[in-house]
Amino acid sequence: MTADLHALFVHAHPDDETINNGATMAKYVAEGRGVTVVTCTAGEMGEVLVPDLGHLAYDKDGGPGERRKEEIAAAMARLGVTDHRWLGGFGRFHDSGMARHEDGHAVAADVVPDNGFWHADLTEAADELVKEIRELRPQVLVTYNEFGGYGHPRPHPGTPGRDVRRSAGRRPRRTSSHSAPRTTSPRSTGAR
């Protein structure tokens, strides 16, 4: 494979790229394929699960966005990805947050910041991604399905690839969306 073959991965916020596609990205890099990751928000409203990092919570210190910026840089270096970009530049789109209903499914957060992605103009956000697509001309585009990959309660920052590629004036040769399986089966886990 050569660097003229390119894959573009579009993710909502830091850690999604590694959790969902880290092995694929590392494989593409090892094969000499160009890999670009576009991250839509810094995940400022993400849950802070480690008690020692509780000070990073959105309601205490504005959220873990700056720390996650460092973490994604380290993750990209570890995976060998040298082209990471923030949709529209770092901080252009702010994480909208989410909460969990008592039955466990994702619901909208009680408070969404005025600059949260949920309030962003979808055309404006898609135009930013279209710029990246036109520059990179990827053969493969990986992003979220219409449910945000894991049941996110509203349109997720990872705009569905097929629609964005059409907006970019290209007929998709190949697009992929990913979502977490609701159940575990031999087919969903790769076991045979």
Say if residue 184's pLDDT is above 60: no
The SS3 of residue 130 is helix
Mean pLDDT of 2-18: 87
pLDDT class of 14 with cuts at 50, 70, 90: very high
Looking at residue 24, what is its pLDDT?
A: 96
Q: How far is CA 108 from CA 64, 102, 116, 153, in A?
A: 19, 13, 12, 6
Distance CA 141, CA 133 (A): 9
Residue 164 is predicted with a pLDDT of 56
Helices (H), 1-86: 16-30, 58-61, 65-79
**34 DSSP 8-state letter:** E
Q: What is the pLDDT of residues 106-159, one digit of tens each?
A: 777 888 888 888 888 889 999 999 999 999 999 999 988 766 666 555 544 444
pLDDT, tens digit, for every residue of 70-93? 999 999 999 999 999 999 999 899
Whole-angstrom distance between the N-terminal and C-terminal Cα of the chain?
29
Length of the chain counted residue by residue: 192
Examine the pLDDT at 174 and tell me if it is beyond 70.
Answer: no
pLDDT of residue 83: 98
Q: Round to whole Å and give the CA distance between 74 and 93.
A: 21
- Give the residue-averaged pLDDT of 32-43: 95
